[in-house]
A and B are shown apart, each in its own frame.
Chain A
Amino acid sequence: GAGVSQSPRYKVAKRGQDVALRCDPISGHVSLFWYQQALGQGPEFLTYFQNEAQLDKSGLPSDRFFAERPEGSVSTLKIQRTQQEDSAVYLCASSGGVNTEAFFGQGTRLTVV
């Protein structure tokens, strides 16, 4: 596709439920990033992949958050036992390199009820 694609666009989860958010990056982009954006705030870094290697996961808020990119393309962000404070927009971005411009998807809005 022409851009970064994220699915689903919206997700409502009951507290305690597990969720999986998908990101399809731009073809050929080696770098992939996940960000979390709370309402009215800037995106906060969660984790970063270069190809299939997860190089930085320092932003993941707890061990309930897990991300993978097994074949160096599609990535999945999984949140286990969701809590209300996990409600946010989760943004995925890809780039040709870590120091270049990043292309963002439309995000997944997660609401935990």
Chain B
Amino acid sequence: SQQGEEDPQALSIQEGENATMNCSYKTSINNLQWYRQNSGRGLVHLILIRSNEREKHSGRLRVTLDTSKKSSSLLITASRAADTASYFCATHSGNTPLVFGKGTRLSVIA
């Protein structure tokens, strides 16, 4: 079963624009993580935000977490063609392993 649900399922933008992806989840969490997956490759960890944090930055990435709404967003600023990938949110609840959503497919057009 999948806890997180990303929105939109697919997103196409021009290089230089910002990309925003959203994730909603169902149960209370310890932390929420975002991963990137290039076609045919493994997942790469981008950022982890704990349940007591509201916002976190890493380079061109900004993640927010609203535990009252059980939602998170990932913002990629000044997108590049190399950002083209699928992006997944994943949640930790209790001592259970990461549960992933279905992902957002981002296409950045040069």
Check A98–B42 contact: CB distance below 8 A: no
Check B2–A42 contact: CB distance below 8 A: yes
Q: B81 an interface residue at 8 Å Cβ cutoff?
A: no
Alpha-carbon distance A104/B98, docked complex (angstroms): 12
Q: A65 an interface residue at 8 Å Cβ cutoff?
A: no
Q: A103 an interface residue at 8 Å Cβ cutoff?
A: yes
Q: B30 an interface residue at 8 Å Cβ cutoff?
A: yes
- The interface residues of chain A lying within 8 Å CB-to-CB of B101 are 42
Please name the residue on chain B nearest to A102 by beta carbon: B98
Residues of B within 8 A of A (CB): 2, 4, 30-31, 33, 35, 40-45, 48, 88, 92, 95-103
Q: A91 an interface residue at 8 Å Cβ cutoff?
A: yes
User: Closest CB-CB distance, A87 to chain B, in whole Å?
Assistant: 15
Knowing A91-B43, A99-B30, A99-B92, the reply to whether A45 touches B97 (Cβ < 8 A) is yes
- The interface residues of chain A lying within 8 Å CB-to-CB of B103 are 41-42
Partner of A56 from B88, B97, B102 at Cβ < 8 Å: B97
User: Closest CB-CB distance, B2 to chain A, in whole Å?
Assistant: 6
User: Closest CB-CB distance, B89 to chain A, in whole Å?
Assistant: 9
Type the 1/0 row for A29-41, where 1 means its CB is closer than 8 Å to any CB of B.
Answer: 0010101000001
Number of interface residues of A (CB under 8 A): 24
Check B92–A107 contact: CB distance below 8 A: no
Please name the residue on chain A nearest to B4 by beta carbon: A42
19 CB < 8 A contacts A-B = A42-B100, A43-B43, A44-B2, A44-B100, A45-B97, A45-B98, A93-B43, A93-B98, A98-B92, A99-B30, A99-B95, A101-B45, A101-B48, A102-B45, A103-B45, A104-B35, A104-B44, A104-B45, A105-B42
Interface residue ranges of A93-113 to B (CB < 8 Å):
93, 98-107, 109
Partner of A98 from B43, B88, B97, B99 at Cβ < 8 Å: B97
- Most-contacted residue by chain B among A35, A48, A98 (CB, 10 A): A98
Knowing A42-B88, A98-B92, A99-B31, the reply to whether A106 touches B97 (Cβ < 8 A) is no
Partner of A42 from B30, B31, B44, B102 at Cβ < 8 Å: B102
